[in-house]
Structure 1
Amino acid sequence: MVSSYVALDLETTGLDPKKDKIMEIGAVLVIDGVIKDTYETFVNPYRKLEERISMLTGIRDDQLYNAPGIEAVIGEFLDFAGNLPVLGHHVIFDFSFLKRAAVNAGRGFERQGIDTLKLARRFMPPEEKKNLKNACEFFGIRQESSHRALADSKSAHLLYQEMKNRYGSKEPEAFGLQPLIYKAKKEQPASNRQKEHLQDLLKYHKIVLSVQTDHLSRNEISRITDKIISQYGRI
């Protein structure tokens, strides 16, 4: 059973790591079951948040406006995490966003992980909801808050420790490390020609984007351009 790891959680603008962006990272460094350090930062997603995301997390656009971009903080996070395995509630979700950011920064991020969601599905009754909030309530863990990165990373750590204490001696194999597999290719920046073409389309069709075009990759700007042409037509 694993006792040293980095428990982590992200708040993101959506659920797709290919299209959506990280807006908050929270992590706790756990050594021999004890929290030794924490990491927390807002991340500028360079786009306006949807109202449902702000309602869910309590994070507002003005809190992110002066925050660093992911390219400025991913190195800090990777140094904080070191070579330890990562733990989270549906940890592959957080891992996929971080893996893409690491690859884009020219860094590697291969890890084994512990998924508290899988453990909750194994040890909680079928009729109980298995999201982090409900799992913590079921196991009597008090949460500082919900849908904020650092608080949720601490909750995932405490949830793992509680389940390990209850079931580890009977089913130690459930608490072992699993490989985290997510393939990501480095994204290429958009060309000036792509940006100019998109700006011309926006001006011609009188469209206001919620994203900052200077921070779009080649694939992202291509998708947006194709979508505008399919909906509104060419110039």
Structure 2
Amino acid sequence: MVLRGQTGGGQLTFADLDDNGDDGFRPDRSLFETTLVVVDLETTGGSPTDDGITEIGAVKIRGGEVIGEFATLVDPGLPIPPQIVTLTGITEAMVSDAPMIGAVLPSFVEFARGSILVAHNARFDMGFLRQNAARLGIDWPFTASLCTVTMARRILTRDEAPTVRLSALADLFDVSTRPTHRALDDARATVEVFHHLLERVGNQGVDTYRELTAYLPRSNPRLRAKRTLARDLPSRPGVYLFRGPSEEVLYVGTAVDLRRRVMSYFTGSDPRRRIGEMVNLATRIDHVECAHALEAGVRELRLLAAHAPAYNRRSTQPHRGWWIVLTGERFPRLKVSRTPTDDAIGPIGNRTTAATIADMISRSAGLRSCTTRLGSASHHWCRSEAAGGPRIGGCHAASDRPLTLPDYLPRASAVRDLMAGDCDHLLTDLTDRLIRLADAQMFESAARQRDRVSATIDSLARCQRLAALCTISELVVARPDPDRGWEIAVIRHGRLASAGVARRGIAPMAVVETLTASAETVVATDGPLLGAPPEEAGLLYRWVTDPGARIVSTTEPFALPAASAERWLPWSQTAHAAREAPRRAG
């Protein structure tokens, strides 16, 4: 167990830690003058009753400064699941000599006494701490706590923070200590996030604990009265559907614990006004139990596409993206279309972005960009500047002589090879042009070229990743679940055909055979993804490529093409960082 003072040297006594000029928590005292303890836990799972604490990290702050730290590993008294070891790096060997929670919790209580407790997802951390205090018969003196998840949802816009995970907020605020799924590091990162959130509301007259809690969302009687709608929901993974007075689907969501997630809608913790309006309209909540979170995520996407609920903003139009298509004309060109062909990349959310990428590739390959109907013509000739034709805005295949099919078709083949991942010479040409622009000190043009090349790489890599999955007729994958069983998915042409769980003690291959025999039949269609919805294929790809996933069987090799744009992603990530650097500096 480690206790550190402000300077990081020497051991502090509990008397020293309590001597903070504080005479106890007062809700009307300025938060700047109040002592707060930011705490984070690592555990063996998500249940305060069934799981144990493996590490406690806490940082005591007052006046914007750190005045003490508390950190210790904890022997949970039960095995640590492999996926938790992978996530946190805390092994059973590391905690074998650590103190039990009965020895640690009294020390933490004394360290934090008289303070407001702060945590990221405070319900989780406080639930474990209170449960262990009650079990051990330890007095729990903390009456006030703050949650940075709740604060972030209220203070930040959805565009600014699409997710309020600690890692995402750490990136948003560019904090100095990055979250690592270790308790003290995460507590230190939460301190910085907490201070940044307070800065956002300081100019709105929010200064004290009372003012902050009044500013944060609170439940109201109308919402609480609707809790009975969730009364019969199970504590299982699945999808829930809020239905309105005419049985219409208002909202679709997914949860690893249906009951707990749906109950949260009646607490007023969601600051989005439209969600409160939706809950007030709801008259019934339907649900679909799922084998595991992957099946729930896929069913959510399918239900969103089927119902297009008024209160959902994403995934309600799964085929809305744009594709860059190589036409089937005698002299092929690239065009932007809603409908993919076999020679296409996408989908891309923005049409302008798709058109820019198409123009980049056409320019590099010398593919024509004019829309002249050539019919059965034996040649293509858009005159170049040297031949007396216009150059700016002209066709990318412009030349000083007519181009015959033998001249032109290798250019189309180069584009096909780029799309398929068989050859990436065109990407080399695009990056070489960027270097030439930079060497010529044409920095604004170079920056535009950098961003366009980066967008091209990202779109190619994503399409090639998903196509690699969608070409497989049948892929069976298993991942360990928290109860030491196996989550199993049967995937056919980029769609989830069947899902199940092999519980601990049950032979998994028997479950695999049953799931495969009863799996949905999937018929492949046209396009790089063979008709699979891109969002579903993307969700499956992330699940299949998780480090814990194991391929049970596959009809074709699951591999990316040799010259896939995936190997250019480090270049693209560097380009993204270069683009973001001036914004952060500003």
Give the TM-score taking structure 2 as reference length. Answer: 0.30
Confirm whether residue 133 of structure 1 aligns to residue 164 of structure 2. Answer: no
Q: Which amino acid aligns with 1:71?
A: G
Q: Which amino acid aligns with 2:37?
A: V
Confirm whether residue 174 of structure 1 aligns to residue 208 of structure 2. Answer: no
Rounded Cα–Cα distance in structure 2 between residues aligned with 1:17 and 1:97: 5
2:100 to 59, 65, 69: 69
Confirm whether residue 119 of structure 1 aligns to residue 173 of structure 2. Answer: no
Rounded Cα–Cα distance in structure 2 between residues aligned with 1:159 and 1:47: 33
Look up the SS of the partner of 2:125 in the other structure: helix
Partner of 2:111: 80
Identity of aligned residues (%): 29
Q: Which amino acid aligns with 1:33?
A: G
Rounded Cα–Cα distance in structure 2 between residues aligned with 1:132 and 1:27: 16
Rounded Cα–Cα distance in structure 2 between residues aligned with 1:170 and 1:153: 26
Rounded Cα–Cα distance in structure 1 between residues aligned with 2:180 and 2:214: 27
How far does residue 177 in structure 1 lie from its aligned partner after superposition? 10
* Matched-pair contact (CA < 8 Å) for 2:74–2:98: yes
* Matched-pair contact (CA < 8 Å) for 2:60–2:68: yes
Say if 1:51 and 1:134 are closer, same or farther in 2 by CA, change over 3 A.
same
Confirm whether residue 143 of structure 1 aligns to residue 177 of structure 2. Answer: yes
Partner of 1:5: 36
Partner of 1:222: none
Rounded Cα–Cα distance in structure 2 between residues aligned with 1:166 and 1:107: 37
How far does residue 155 in structure 1 lie from its aligned partner after superposition? 1.1
* Matched-pair contact (CA < 8 Å) for 1:29–1:35: yes
Partner of 2:76: 45
Q: Which has the larger radius of gyration?
A: 2
> What does 1:131-210 correspond to in 2, within 5 Å?
131-170=165-204, 172=206, 173-174=211-212
How far does residue 105 in structure 1 lie from its aligned partner after superposition? 2.5
How far does residue 175 in structure 1 lie from its aligned partner after superposition? 5.9
Say if 1:108 and 1:94 are closer, same or farther in 2 by CA, change over 3 A.
same
Confirm whether residue 29 of structure 1 aligns to residue 57 of structure 2. Answer: no
Confirm whether residue 98 of structure 1 aligns to residue 129 of structure 2. Answer: yes
Stretch moving more, 112-121 or 166-175: 166-175
What are the superposed Cα offsets for residues 213-233 of structure 1, whole Å, 9 maximum, x if unpaired? xxxxxxxxxxxxxxx9xx9xx
How far does residue 166 in structure 1 lie from its aligned partner after superposition? 2.5
How far does residue 162 in structure 1 lie from its aligned partner after superposition? 1.0
How far does residue 176 in structure 1 lie from its aligned partner after superposition? 6.6
Rounded Cα–Cα distance in structure 1 between residues aligned with 2:87 and 2:152: 23
How far does residue 140 in structure 1 lie from its aligned partner after superposition? 2.0
Look up the SS of the partner of 2:31 in the other structure: coil
Q: Which amino acid aligns with 1:115?
A: C
RMSD: 2.6
What are the superposed Cα offsets for residues 182-217 of structure 1, whole Å, 9 maximum, x if unpaired? xxxxxxxxxxxxxxxxxxxxxxxxxxxx9xxxxxxx
* Matched-pair contact (CA < 8 Å) for 2:75–2:100: yes
What are the superposed Cα offsets for residues 160-180 of structure 1, whole Å, 9 maximum, x if unpaired? 1111123222151336799xx
Look up the SS of the partner of 2:191 in the other structure: helix
Partner of 1:223: none
Look up the SS of the partner of 1:24 in the other structure: strand
Rounded Cα–Cα distance in structure 1 between residues aligned with 2:200 and 2:147: 17
How far does residue 103 in structure 1 lie from its aligned partner after superposition? 1.8
* Matched-pair contact (CA < 8 Å) for 1:56–1:147: yes
Look up the SS of the partner of 2:98 in the other structure: coil
Rounded Cα–Cα distance in structure 1 between residues aligned with 2:215 and 2:111: 20
Stretch moving more, 2-11 or 137-146: 137-146
Rounded Cα–Cα distance in structure 1 between residues aligned with 2:50 and 2:147: 24
Structure 2 unaligned segments of length 5 or more: list them. Answer: 1-29, 217-483, 485-503, 507-586
Structure 1 unaligned segments of length 5 or more: list them. Answer: 179-209, 211-227
Give the TM-score taking structure 1 as reference length. Answer: 0.71
Q: Which amino acid aligns with 2:176?
A: R
* Matched-pair contact (CA < 8 Å) for 2:41–2:125: yes
Q: Which amino acid aligns with 1:18?
A: T
* Matched-pair contact (CA < 8 Å) for 2:179–2:189: no
**Residue-pair matches, total:** 184
Name the structure, 1 or 2, with higher relative contact order (CA <8 Å, separation 6+): 1
Q: Which amino acid aligns with 1:174?
A: L
Look up the SS of the partner of 1:67 in the other structure: coil
